[in-house]
Every structure is written in structure tokens, then in C-alpha cells.
Structure 1
Amino acid sequence: MQALPRSLALLCLAASMLLVGSYVALTKPLALVFPVMLLAWLRFGIGGGAMLHWLRKPAGEPPMTPRTRWLLFLESFFGNFLFTLCMIAGMRLTTAVAASVIMASIPAVVAVLGWLILRERMTLRILLSILCAVGGVALLALARGNGAANASAQSSWLGYVLLFAAVVCEASYSIIGKLLTASLSPRRITALINLWGLALSTPLGLYAAWQFDFGAVPPSIWLLLLFYALAACMGSVWLWMTGLKVIPASQAGVFTVMLPVGTALTGVLALGETLNAMQGLALGIALLGVLMATLPGRTQALPPVSS
């Protein structure tokens, strides 16, 4: 199969994180209606039904090794299952402002893990783009949270730890995904890790479903659940894996800054929130980081970590 052009791969990465940011913002109504584990189980179930035809092994794809099977489990456990639990639990113990600042560290964590685990060479320009991305989203969070200083001061340190654990899970998802794209197609990776997510969430999901009144759920919530499941399980994952097949993980990690940016934009466009000058500046700085990471050019590279 012909390799995807670099420009299209970069577009896939950006679209994936914008999609994640949008469905994170739009799932607030779902979390108010469904228990956490039931919501996760329904998500993976709907996504799995839509991707059954993606489970078939392509003709030219090599058989999966035990290492590949193990990586698929880890990808789903960290990127799907554990990330969701840590994020929800962390949000309950701290503030949205603190969460945004902590989540802004995802690009840096991805780059460091890519340097340590994948032995990727990290350029000075990528380092500068990471600083722009982290600084921009941190400024965005602080600009949105001027009125939440008292609540932030009372936030639990356990919440901070859980949120950073979610950051590590998301970064691990990017690194493991890069390893998987060397032997599996993006579609098959997407379908298989969703299948693991369904298996992990089924026991507690069935327990929650047994006590839940499905008849009380309005049609608008069911439509939102359908969008959430297809975007979270299918669209965003396939786009991310497609981009990772071409782009180094350290560079792709910069695009995770689009997650909180996408959430902020969705809040403005769909939820009626306002965007002031400081917030606009923060978004501009974050996008500058993405631009620095994607423009072609020669830059001195940092040496990889020795084995």
C-alpha cells in the first residue's frame, strides 16, 4: 500500500485530537444520565458493532505475534479503560482549570516517552513547539479560571495525581500506537483495541445496566451517545493511528494540544461560552506550537537515549 503523504498524516493527527476535544465537551449530558461504567460499556458496544468488518485481517498483513497481542491489550487498557477512569475520578476531586493545566503536559510527556522508549531523535524545534503548546494551553486554562482561585486552592492533591496519571495513559497510548502501526493497519488496530475495551468494561457495565431505567432516557441523549461512541471508538482512533503510521511519536505528541483547544472551541461554538482576548492569545500560542512542529526544515537533533 502506498504511504500516506506527510501533509495528510498531519491533518489526520490534528483532526483526531479536535474530535476528541469536541466529544469530551459534549459528553457532559451523557455523564449526568448514565453511570460511568455503563456509559463506557455502551460506548465500546456501539463502536464494536460499527467496526465488525474492520476485524478481518488484510491479505498482506503478517500474523500477530504474542508481543503484538500484548501491545494491543496495553493500548486498550491505558488509552481506553484506565484513561477514562483516571480522568473522571480526577475531575471529581479537583477543578477544570487545574485539569486543563495538567492535560497541557501531554505533548511533553509523549515526546519524552518517544525519546526514551522509541529512541526517536528529538529536534530543538520540536522542543520549542512543545513549550509553545504547553504554555498556550496553560495560559488558556488560567485565563478561563480567574474566578475559580478559591476552588482551585481547595483542590485535592489526589485529584492532581489522578489527572497526571491520565496524562501518562494518553501519552502511553500514542507510544504504543506507534509500535502497533509497524505491523497492523490503522483500521484493525482501532477495531481490536475497542474489542479489548468492551471486554474490560462488560462485567461492571452489565451490573450497572441491570439497575438502570433505559426507558427514561430521551431520544436526544441516545443520539448524543451514538455520536460519542462513533467519534471516541472509531473516528478519532482511526485518524490517530493513520497519522502515527507516518509521523514520529515525538512530533505527533504536539498535536495532543488540540484536545483542550478543541474542547474550548466546542464550548464557544456549541455550548455558548465566550472567548476573551486572553483566551484567544492562548489559543494562538498553542497553534503556533503545532505550526512549528509541522513546517518542513532542517533543525539540529538531540541524540537519542543510549541503550
Structure 2
Amino acid sequence: MSLVGCYVALSKPLATALPVLLLAWMRFGIGGVAMLHWLRKPAGEPPLTRQTRRLLFLESFLGNFLFTLCMIYGVSLTNAVTAGVTMAAIPAAMALAGWAFLRERVAPRTWAAVVLAVLGIALFALSKPELPAQSAQALGAKNTSNLAWLGQWLLVGAVVCEAAYTVIGKKLTGSLGPKRISALINLWGFALTTPFGLYLARGFDFAAVGWGTWALLLFYALAACMWTVWLWMTGLQAVPAAQGGVFSVLLPVSAALVGVLVLGESLTGVQLLAFGIALASVLLATLPSRAALRVRPPEAPR
């Protein structure tokens, strides 16, 4: 999630230089080339069942394709504050989804960490200025006043998509390795965005894009499609969905730090308080329990 926050902050120039769906198509294409060797089935891995194939499609459709559309157009029809406060529900949504669909037992301390995570993200969002009207229109909304309700529902849809992404990913890690999951859902993402990418590429002036933007696109594609997905799926193999959801607080924290250290932005006192609450939620979720501390590790053979 820290890496996600970094590439989200650094991808701002990409969103102004390239159309969103063209950017997504190129991102999946670069990621697919980098992960070609991850598509090969390991020797000990069972063959893909019909249910696994269906889950792989849903993982990419909900977590990559639909989440991106709901988030971008939701922000364009509302404002940055509304989007941030709505996204604060992601840790709670992940915990509820893990409890409802995976039958995970959510410990009281994990619920407390989820509450702190929601408070931290919401407080950070409320401390940010609202998205100006001209910026919203630049994102594609011509009249945001009459369609704010639609934007809010799209943001809620993005939260549901993110929760589904975690739950489905947790189920997939039971039969597939993290590298193969990353490569297969990226392949589906490329297939879903190809019609839009080809259409937008026909009239786009690629020669007008500078070398710095291309280098940033390469980092963005590898980070978004390859590194972060592999790390997230590897973590889900050992961490419950509810506990994993708490780590989503690191996204706004790392994004803001990149903004300060790289883009020259500044932090307010309220934002620092929000970061403190967010980091406290991660600490609460990751500290070992008393029961775990009482269990001694087995002695090494002599």
C-alpha cells in the first residue's frame, strides 16, 4: 500500500498527458510483457478449474477495470473531499467482506484498528481543499451540481470493488501462487481495456509525449501491475482480509509524503494528526497478541 501511494502521487502528470483508458491499456500492456514468465504454470500447481477462471476474471474486472472507472468518474462528479471520506470506508468494507464471505473471525483488536484506520483516512480527507470546479470539469464532468448523487454512488461502488478485490484475492491464494495470480489478472485487464485503448490511440499524438513521461509510465506500469499486486497477494496468503484492509491507510500516508518530498507540497497539523491515527491503526493490527507471545517457538534440532 505504501508503494501504491507512491505511484498514485507520481502518476498525476500521466493523467494530464494521456487519456485515462489509454493510460490503463498501456499500463496493462507493459505489465504483461514484464510478467510473461509468470504465466507459466508451476509444476506443483493444480490446473485451473472453471471456478478459478471465473474468480480471476472477477478479480481483474472488479479490482482493476471497474474500480478505476468508478473512482475517476466518481471524483469528477463530486470532489476530492467526498472521495477521500468515502474511500475511508475501505478498511471496514474489507473486514465485513472477509467476515461475511470468507467466514473469518475478526478479533476485537482488529475491529479497533479498522475504526482507527477509517478515522485517520477520513480526517486526512477532510483536511484537504475541495476539488475546484474547473478541475472536475477537466476530468470529464460538464455539470457536477446535478450529478453529485451519481458520483457518490460511483465512489461507493469503488469501495465495494476494492473489498471484493481483497476477498477474491484471498480465495485465489489458496490454489494459485502470487506471481501467477498477478500475471493472469493483468492479462484480463489488458483484454478489457484493449477496445478503448485502440480507439483512443488512433487519434492520439504520441510524439508530443516527453521522455520523462514515458519513464514515469514505465515505473507506474511495473509498480501498479506487477510489484504491488504480487506483494498484496503474497501478504494475503498469511494475513486475514480484515487485517489486510487496515494497511490501506498507508496509501494516503505515502502519497502525501511523496507530495511533500518530491512535489513540493506541505502538510498541515490536522494532516499530521490524521497520519498519527492511521499509523496507530497499523501498529494495533500488527502487534502480536498475548496468546502468540505465550507460545514459544520450537527448539531447533541439535
CA separation of 1:247 and 1:116: change in aligned 2, threshold 3 A: same
**In structure 1, what is the equivalent of residue 36 of structure 2?**
52
**In structure 1, what is the equivalent of residue 176 of structure 2?**
184
Write the distance in 1 (CA, Å) between the matches of 2:175 and 2:89: 29
Give the C-alpha shift of residue 276 in structure 1: 1.8
Write the distance in 1 (CA, Å) between the matches of 2:258 and 2:158: 21
**In structure 2, what is the equivalent of residue 91 of structure 1?**
75
Given candidates 160, 163, 166, the residue that maps to 1:168 is 160
Write the distance in 2 (CA, Å) between the matches of 1:162 and 1:149: 17
Matches within 5 A, 1:1-307: 17-145=1-129, 148=130, 156-298=148-290
Q: Which moved more, 1:181-190 or 1:290-299?
A: 290-299
**Segments of 4+ in structure 1 off by > 4 A?**
149-155
Write the distance in 2 (CA, Å) between the matches of 1:251 and 1:201: 31
SS state at 2:127 partner? helix
Give the C-alpha shift of residue 149 in structure 1: 9.7
Aligned-residue CA RMSD (Å): 1.8
Write the distance in 2 (CA, Å) between the matches of 1:60 and 1:150: 54
Asked whether the equivalents of residues 44 and 194 of structure 1 are also in contact (C-alpha less than 8 Å), the reply is: yes
The higher relative CO (CA closer than 8 Å, separation ≥ 6) is in 1
TM-score, normalised with respect to structure 2: 0.89
Give the C-alpha shift of residue 34 in structure 1: 1.0
Asked whether the equivalents of residues 104 and 260 of structure 1 are also in contact (C-alpha less than 8 Å), the reply is: no
Asked whether the equivalents of residues 91 and 114 of structure 2 are also in contact (C-alpha less than 8 Å), the reply is: yes
Write the distance in 2 (CA, Å) between the matches of 1:150 and 1:89: 15
TM-score, normalised with respect to structure 1: 0.88
Write the distance in 1 (CA, Å) between the matches of 2:150 and 2:290: 43
Asked whether the equivalents of residues 169 and 236 of structure 2 are also in contact (C-alpha less than 8 Å), the reply is: yes
CA separation of 1:298 and 1:120: change in aligned 2, threshold 3 A: farther
Asked whether the equivalents of residues 79 and 131 of structure 2 are also in contact (C-alpha less than 8 Å), the reply is: no
The runs of 5 or more residues in structure 1 that have no matched partner are: 1-16, 300-307
CA separation of 1:150 and 1:210: change in aligned 2, threshold 3 A: closer
Give the C-alpha shift of residue 150 in structure 1: 9.4
Write the distance in 1 (CA, Å) between the matches of 2:280 and 2:242: 17
Write the distance in 1 (CA, Å) between the matches of 2:187 and 2:107: 36
Write the distance in 1 (CA, Å) between the matches of 2:30 and 2:58: 21
Percent pairwise identity? 64
The runs of 5 or more residues in structure 2 that have no matched partner are: 137-143, 292-302
**Matched residue type, 2:256:** A
Q: Deviations over 1:74-93 (max 9, x none)?
A: 00001111111111111111
